[in-house]
């Protein structure tokens, strides 16, 4: 084969896709630990849940832009930041609705409920970021 699989027509090959998914997983673990740590620290410091989640999200946005854009997707460009900010606003709203729903209908406290939310929010965030922010752009 004379053309590398990642350069073949139709986009990246399977190895490149797997590598990207693995990098996203690593970045996601780091980002999750960072965001959850900030959130938990703020809740334990006595902030209301909505404010703790908002501040943790804001702190995480710029950190996550660097890790997802620069490391996971290898597309760190300032022009992507506005789309990233809009996407994260949507992710925050989705996370907050899920968090408050869990707290309203279960006996989970704010930290346990947010931990449960991560099982849904994290893969949703990947899909949103991949399709809306770090999508491969064609130059025709």
Mean pLDDT by 10 residues, the chain (140 residues): 44 83 90 92 96 91 92 92 93 95 95 94 89 78
Q: Which of 93, 101, 74, 79 lies closest to 17 in space, CA to CA?
A: 74
C-alpha distances in angstroms, 15 versus 12, 25, 75?
8, 15, 18
CB 131 within 8 A of CB 41: no
The pTM of this model reads: 0.71
Would you state the pLDDT for residue 13? Answer: 83
Q: For the chain, how many helices (H) and strands (E)?
A: 4, 0
The token pair at 16 is 């490149």
């Amino acid at each position: 084969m004379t053309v590398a699989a990642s350069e073949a027509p139709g986009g990246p090959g399977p190895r490149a896709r797997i590598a990207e998914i693995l990098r996203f997983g690593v970045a996601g673990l780091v980002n999750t630990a960072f965001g959850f740590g900030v959130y938990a620290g703020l809740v334990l410091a006595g902030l209301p849940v909505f404010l703790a989640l908002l501040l943790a999200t804001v702190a995480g946005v710029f950190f996550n832009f660097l890790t997802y854009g620069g490391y996971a997707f290898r597309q760190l460009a300032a022009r992507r930041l506005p789309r990233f900010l809009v996407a994260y606003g949507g992710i925050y709203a989705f996370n907050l609705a899920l968090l408050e729903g869990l707290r309203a209908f279960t006996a989970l406290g704010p930290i346990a409920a947010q931990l449960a939310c991560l099982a849904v929010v994290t893969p949703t965030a990947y899909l949103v970021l991949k399709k809306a922010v770090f999508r491969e752009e064609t130059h025709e």
